[in-house]
Structure 1
Amino acid sequence: MTLSGAILSLLALLVFLSAGSSAATLSARRDTILGSETFGDVANFSTFLLDRSSGMLFLGARDAILAVDTKKLNEKKPLKIIWDVSDDKRKSCEGKGKTEGDCRNYIRLLEFLGDGRIYVCGTYAFDPQCAFLNATTFTLEEVDGVVRMESGKGKCPFEPSQHYTAIMADGLLYTAATSNFLGTLFDISRATGPEQERIRTERSINWLSDPEFVSSAFIEQSAGNPTGDDDKIYFFFNEVAKEYDFYTKVKVPRVARVCKSDVGGMKTLQRRWTTFLKAQLVCEDKPSGQRYNVLTDVFTMQHIPGDPSSTHFYGLFTSQWEQVDLSAVCVFSLSDISKVLDGPFKELKKSCDNWINHEPIPSPRPGQCLNSALKAEGFESSLKLPDKVLTFVRDHPLMENSVTAASLLVRKGISYTKLAVNLKDGSEERRAAVLYLGTDRGELHQVAVVGQNVTLLQETPLFTSQEPVNNILLHKGHALVGSPLSLARVQAEGCALYRSCEVCGRARGLGCVWSTKEEACKQTTEEPGPGDVVDAALKKCNVAEGRCNPSPQVLQVFRGLRLLLSCVQLSPRPCSWEYPPHRHTRQHNSDLEVVVTDDNLGNYVCTCQEGGPAVRDPTPCRRAAYYLTLEAPSVEKVSTSEGRHILALYIFAILLVLSFVAVLIFFVKRRCGIARNLPDNSLSSGKGRDLLGSSATPQSPSSSSLFSDGFRMAEKRNGTATSTTTTTLLSNHGNGGHSYSDTLISSNSSNGHGNSLYANCNTSGSGRRLGPEFLSPDMLDRRTGERERVRSEGGERESGEGEEVEEGLRDGLGEGMKRLEEEISSFTMFKSPAPLARCEESSI
């Protein structure tokens, strides 16, 4: 191998090691990420449909449908069907005032029909259309060589960004979507089946008031239930509350229920729901009274498999009133929802009188599903219900009481987008669950909930910060995580997932225990002892810090510096700080902003309140501790991992400097050699301005700039090679990096917020850079090199001019090396400041 080849290999290896740290971590866990290199120009993935028997995952995208074998993600190429819009159709859509990007066919619905086919619907340039996909042959049904399509109005939204949900129940499609081109009409409907049984909601603000649909669930009653109760479909959405008379629009989360056998009324509510009832969902922290009023996602699961009455709905919430990112999780049981829907109706007060005579509830009870008792009274169908019952339902769709739940988890500064839950076996009081939460920054968080304690286990960056997580499916011990551009398969179950004693200790409530003999995390059936399970397990790892006893982070600071001390809040209870008394602090939710002065050096401790809703006196838990000093921290106070990171950075910088010097020397010698081989009259005749020979190319190694477009360095992102034209010393990825600036230092840095789901998703991975770029050889004066080659030939040049060239070359090299030393010395890591570390769970 030549000297140039060895140097280039060394540089490529260094860039790979620096930029591919996250990809290496994922590879060690046997995770797989597919991106644009696999899917090509197909983007805007929005819909997932998994065949759990075969493991085939169907993806709905823009103008395409894909099929991916989850068992062989890296071995088999995805199957693809192109279903796009004709040019005339697209131009007609654009002529109506819509954008070129929206006038495409975005696949928003994929549902199994039960006969080996999949029902597929797309926006089709603001004219929704549906088709039939043969899952076995993976082809769309055609008629005379043309895709067989039927109208998708009421089954699929008109535009890609509209909120929408749908569920298939016994071969019939139930949807919640907009039903007109302008997006001003909203329906919850039975969209397929016999024409006379296709029914929808009443067009009234009392039924639906500017809703944003979120999720839906089909609850199938067991065949042998004693009451003969009907199957039900539940819809979750946000809407503008008409029962609150505020100066601004107040959003409230709702749950609505309809019955599968409902076919509408005979005269009143013809082809309208006669069983449509809705209630408000309340997710709140009871001690503080804070409510989270915007629902973003719902995950449905049965706590006892096969028992529909054990169904629970895990809701992901945020707040309309908060100015910062905030996410909360609440759990609602099916039994609680049923009790509210069987309770009193809300009376719309149209008068200012103090005394209002409530309308009596007619019999049979309005809105109830058909059961054995009603059928025994002669009401075999909703068509036989009396008009007074149907009129009452039409005027009273909202229930008086709300379905209330205490917040299970609260994260401030984080915006979660999707939620999935895996329940662990155990007794009722020791039942544990693992929450898989996707963020708007392309990350997957795992949170363990054991009893009244919530512990953050892992934060895994999967995609770029511009790719929000929009789908999570759990299948055979893995999580299938999607974004508008990528698909990832992540190991999600098993104690072997936790590869260190500390992380394994945090998962003690999930039945994991660290084996010192095997140095691995193992599953155990041994019940944990009394007290704090996590702290007891961490003490066995020979570490001083526990879940509520973190080691102080020593930070070297200077006067006037503004920094943000992070404190991860998992419990709904508030957090407080203890610090030296002064006025130069301000709390941002659970984090603390500090402006460094001589008076505010010392200890900073964040304490959060732990405990569930049943605990009247919550236990304080110390979440983070910092020590600010103007002096360099002692060796004893620096953790081993931090020392290794600093040592690695030193070695990395030294290797880059040596590589740069070697490349510089090589190019100088190469140019000298080219000058010696040129004929004497090539320069004297004035034709030597172009020093490249006739056979040389701009991409040859004799190019004056190593980092020009002719040589693009390889950069690894999530295991995928991309190209970049610059070399950086450090890169921050996800929440694990620390960034210093002259205005604010954040120990919980991020790459920004994710863009809209259907924005221009053709983005490339970009990492933030810390420090300036390295000097490239073409920063030196090229004319100095030319004079040096002329002098080396010993031609007609005078000796004085040759000495001037040699002196200029020495000056250029000396100036370049001096500037290189100044650039490297300007990096903050060579000034030995203490890196800002996040508190215990978030630093996993």
Structure 2
Amino acid sequence: MKLSVSPPGWSSSMRPLQLLLLAAELLLLSPAPCAQAAAISHGAVSDMVSGLDFAGVGNFSTFLLDRSSGMLYLGARDAIVAVDTANLSKRLKIVWSVPEDKRKSCVAKGKTEADCNNYIRLLEFLGDGRIYACGTYAFDPQCAFVNISSFSLEKLEDNSVRMETGKGKCPFEPSQHYTAVMAGGVLYTAATSNFLGTLFDISRATGPEQERIRTERSINWLSDPEFVSSAFIQENEKNNPTGEDDKIYFFFTEVAKEYDLYTKVKVPRVARVCKSDIGGMKTLQRRWTTFLKAQLVCEDRASGQRFNVLTDVFTKQHQPGDPSSTHFYGIFTSQWEREEMSAVCVYSLEDISKVMDGPFKELKKSCENWMNPEPVPSPRPGQCLNNALKTEGFESSLKLPDKVLTFMRDHPLMENSVVSVPLLVRSGVTYTKLAVTLTTVSNGNTRQNATVLHLGTDRGELHRVAVVGQNATLMQELPLFPAAEPVNNILLNKGKAIVGSPHSLVRLPAEGCSLYTTCEECARARTLGCVWRQKEGACDLAVTEPGEGVEPEYSDSQCGNGEDRCSPATTELRVVEGLRVLLSCVQVSPRPCHWKYPPQRHARRHHSDLEVRVTPESLGNYECVCEEAGRDQPPCRRAAYSLTLEEPVTGSNTGQTGSRHFVVGYLLFFFIGFSLACAIFIIRLRRSKRGGGHSSSISEKGRDLLPSSDTPQSPSSASLLSEAVPFTEKRNGTLNGHGNHGGHMIVQNCTHIYSNSSGLKLQESAVNLAEELDGRERAGPEGEEEGLGEGLSELGDGLVGLEEEMAKLQVLRGAPLAQCEESSI
């Protein structure tokens, strides 16, 4: 197969214009990626409903599932919707809107009409047949009660909705970060508590009035936080010998105060409060006396990359009924990386408890350094009530001495961090939501644990990743929503996954080998005990009974014959010099891929793909060889390309070529005339200043101020692209997958141009055009260049000096720590 990149009749001097017109032609002629996503998603999911099916209701933000009945309650804009997960066509709706006068008052305060609606952000079961619902209510949060049996809002005698204030229970703004959890019928929230969104509280929002407590208004407690998730960990009543109190955990990202930097550094945190905490008697009145927080560290040790922004957390008990086996799976991104990158780390409750029981961090004023304070008063500050404390006479937090409460108020941060290594790291993908299922894989007489991560992206995709030991394997990438809406909710129930976006809802199978409909997808699920059965043409369990061995005819799990799988046809690519092409290599196994290429190539890696800059030396054959999942499997050739130079053709298109030369000549003439006008103006200005008797000083000032009066230009695209990013193969706990696998075309952006069938991927046309313009000399008559004059020469010298100074600046990728700092991020 051949792909011509340079249309015939285009000379090399027309290459910048050629690239621009070529990009426009591809935009017009290439099929719409979004339409492809819609076609793929139609066959990939089992059932989907959108906002049109809900009579125009949209902005779904909150999910509440009744697992016994299978009824799903959704909080939306001006409405609460109930959907039967067994049959998505069965739907009920409650309208809860804002009165018109209140809406107008909200707009008058400077808010948009779209935000001055009632966005339902909280839905929680009360345990008495009702649901507690709270909404933004035009920036005046209100809460109401939903009767589940009649699915209606409780009303007063005058037929108005029974409401109570939602301040501290629900955010004011629809887009504000927020989390809440119900613990024993009492609501615990982490939200903003004022109209401007500048005050943040973690509070007990319901229950007796005297027990409604919150965090201290101090940046040492909460510093511009972005709340992510919360979890209620209830102790086992039958197996709790020490009488430990129940605890509530909050996960968020905040601006760190322990790092003395010239920029704001975000840090992921986990905070803990105790259920029986009711505040102090004199110190910390109506404030938490058990609020402790610690830093979460998610660091890839192979590359040293640390992910410092937490976006979602999923809580999972590894042993049902045992709260001590709880693990928290978190999605992280990096504040410092300019490209999309996501990582998944997991933290055990045991590790978090050890850090909370460890040393405290304190700021030493002498050198502005954080250190471990001494001595720590007794009983230990922040400790939850247990049998030992009750024996000492501390039956309540009201009886704690002031020295303990004062220490607690000034030392909410722990010295140690909760450290984890990523289960997977992926570039070019932004994950938004996460759900986890655990399974045990049996292979003959051996059994091993496996974790399946169900990851939603900001482009409406669902990715399934299997983690077995230290290997992570990308098994599926499913585009779900035609409009590429971000995934904001994932619920797993009875073998089904309910995936939601702001305007759509999808139901699809969640587990089982039958999910993988192709041989290659089944091969990726091999670590889960799945094999492809050629006779049935389906993916099935390799072992169905304990002690059963894998049948010989299925144990190899070969997808087709060896020639089809490991001997792909060589794709010939006809390219032009200076172009950048991205050679695709589909990677199935978590093991790395290697490229074989000409020795004088100009290329760099993008995951398993290879970016090549076309030069005479880089022409030739390129071959991608990937290691297979099994150690005894030989390497498999996944892709092969041949780059050949497209020769310009002249003849029939002489008139068209001449017209293009005329356009280039006209533009060249325009720039030369503009340069001459600038030169004459500068020469006259200098002569007039020399005539005034101040030639020396004014001339020097003019040269100094001239560069600074112009806007500094950013580095050229060529210089940015020339900074090769080192590629590190990650084999332990890092995913080496790419966005396209198993024949699925995953649409990353509706404006991105690429050709998956031929393996050629064009980079951004603007980058190529800028690079061509930067790297090519502008030809012109010598007489015209000499006629620019002395003034233009000095102008050029000033700009060159400015360019040299700009070149010395390094791109900011991180922030150095202060001289007196002990910790590092």
Q: TM-score, normalised by structure 1?
A: 0.68
Q: Name 1:53's counterpart in structure 2.
A: 68
Q: 1:733 to 1:540 in 2, by over 3 A?
A: closer
Displacement after TM superposition at 1:167 (Å):
0.4
Q: Residues 464-543 of structure 1 correspond to what in structure 2 (within 5 A)?
A: 464-523=482-541, 524-525=543-544, 537-539=556-558, 542-543=561-562
Q: Name 2:430's counterpart in structure 1.
A: 415
Q: Name 1:556's counterpart in structure 2.
A: 573
- Alpha-carbon contact 1:412-1:569 (below 8 Å) kept: no
Distance in 1, matches of 2:449 and 2:635, equals: 22
* 1:139 counterpart (131, 138, 152): 152
Displacement after TM superposition at 1:465 (Å):
4.3
Distance in 2, matches of 1:33 and 1:70, equals: 11
Secondary structure, counterpart of 2:364 in structure 1: coil
Q: 1:255 to 1:569 in 2, by over 3 A?
A: farther
Displacement after TM superposition at 1:132 (Å):
0.4
- Alpha-carbon contact 2:576-2:645 (below 8 Å) kept: no
Q: Which amino acid aligns with 1:317?
A: F
Q: Which amino acid aligns with 1:146?
A: S
Q: Residues 692-703 of structure 1 correspond to what in structure 2 (within 5 A)?
A: none
Cα deviation, 1:505-540, whole Å, max 9, x if unaligned, reads 221221222233322222224799999x9x974437
Q: Name 1:80's counterpart in structure 2.
A: 93
Displacement after TM superposition at 1:620 (Å):
12
Distance in 2, matches of 1:551 and 1:178, equals: 57
- Alpha-carbon contact 2:181-2:230 (below 8 Å) kept: yes
- Alpha-carbon contact 1:317-1:328 (below 8 Å) kept: yes
Q: Name 1:174's counterpart in structure 2.
A: 188
Q: 1:45 to 1:543 in 2, by over 3 A?
A: farther
- Alpha-carbon contact 1:738-1:746 (below 8 Å) kept: no
Q: 1:289 to 1:489 in 2, by over 3 A?
A: same
Q: 1:357 to 1:70 in 2, by over 3 A?
A: closer
Cα deviation, 1:598-648, whole Å, max 9, x if unaligned, reads 43234445689999xxxxx9x99889644234399xxxxxxxxxxxxxxxx
Q: 1:736 to 1:358 in 2, by over 3 A?
A: closer
* 2:357 counterpart (342, 346, 368): 342
Higher relative contact order by CA 8 Å / sep ≥ 6: 1 or 2? Answer: 2
Q: Name 1:295's counterpart in structure 2.
A: 310
Q: Name 2:102's counterpart in structure 1.
A: 89
Displacement after TM superposition at 1:30 (Å):
6.1
Q: How many residues align?
A: 624
In the alignment, does 2:473 pair up with 1:459? no
Q: Which amino acid aligns with 1:449?
A: V
Distance in 1, matches of 2:571 and 2:337, equals: 32
Q: Name 2:202's counterpart in structure 1.
A: 188
Secondary structure, counterpart of 2:422 in structure 1: strand
Q: 1:80 to 1:737 in 2, by over 3 A?
A: closer
Q: Name 1:164's counterpart in structure 2.
A: 178
Q: 1:240 to 1:576 in 2, by over 3 A?
A: farther
Cα deviation, 1:36-84, whole Å, max 9, x if unaligned, reads 330232111111111111111111111111111111113x2x2111111
Q: Which amino acid aligns with 2:219?
A: I
- Alpha-carbon contact 2:280-2:287 (below 8 Å) kept: yes
In the alignment, does 2:261 pair up with 1:246? yes
Q: Name 1:230's counterpart in structure 2.
A: 245
Q: Quick one: percent identity of the two aligned structures? A: 68
- Alpha-carbon contact 2:32-2:750 (below 8 Å) kept: no
Q: 1:357 to 1:587 in 2, by over 3 A?
A: closer
Q: 1:17 to 1:200 in 2, by over 3 A?
A: closer
Gaps of 5+ in 1: 1-15, 612-616, 633-730, 752-844
- Alpha-carbon contact 1:207-1:397 (below 8 Å) kept: yes
Displacement after TM superposition at 1:595 (Å):
2.8
Q: Which amino acid aligns with 2:227?
A: F
Q: 1:293 to 1:113 in 2, by over 3 A?
A: same
Distance in 2, matches of 1:569 and 1:516, equals: 22
Q: 1:359 to 1:487 in 2, by over 3 A?
A: same
Q: Name 1:120's counterpart in structure 2.
A: 133
Q: 1:396 to 1:630 in 2, by over 3 A?
A: same
Q: 1:155 to 1:248 in 2, by over 3 A?
A: same
| RMSD over equivalenced CA pairs, Å | 3.7
Secondary structure, counterpart of 2:421 in structure 1: strand
Q: Which amino acid aligns with 1:557?
A: R
Distance in 2, matches of 1:608 and 1:361, equals: 56
Q: TM-score, normalised by structure 2?
A: 0.70
Secondary structure, counterpart of 1:430 in structure 2: strand
Distance in 2, matches of 1:239 and 1:438, equals: 23
Distance in 2, matches of 1:453 and 1:528, equals: 25
Distance in 2, matches of 1:357 and 1:466, equals: 48
Q: Residues 715-794 of structure 1 correspond to what in structure 2 (within 5 A)?
A: 734=747
Q: Name 1:216's counterpart in structure 2.
A: 230
Displacement after TM superposition at 1:502 (Å):
2.4
Displacement after TM superposition at 1:447 (Å):
1.0
Q: Which amino acid aligns with 2:98?
A: V
Distance in 1, matches of 2:63 and 2:438, equals: 22
- Alpha-carbon contact 1:502-1:538 (below 8 Å) kept: no
Secondary structure, counterpart of 1:73 in structure 2: strand
Q: Which amino acid aligns with 1:539?
A: Q
Q: Residues 670-709 of structure 1 correspond to what in structure 2 (within 5 A)?
A: none
Cα deviation, 1:399-435, whole Å, max 9, x if unaligned, reads 1110000011011011111111111125898211111
Distance in 1, matches of 2:41 and 2:547, equals: 30
Displacement after TM superposition at 1:581 (Å):
3.2
Q: 1:514 to 1:367 in 2, by over 3 A?
A: same
- Alpha-carbon contact 2:472-2:590 (below 8 Å) kept: no
- Alpha-carbon contact 2:581-2:761 (below 8 Å) kept: no
Distance in 2, matches of 1:21 and 1:302, equals: 39
- Alpha-carbon contact 1:412-1:590 (below 8 Å) kept: no
In the alignment, does 2:464 pair up with 1:439? no
Secondary structure, counterpart of 2:107 in structure 1: helix
Q: 1:379 to 1:309 in 2, by over 3 A?
A: same
Q: Which amino acid aligns with 1:554?
A: T
In the alignment, does 2:118 pair up with 1:100? no
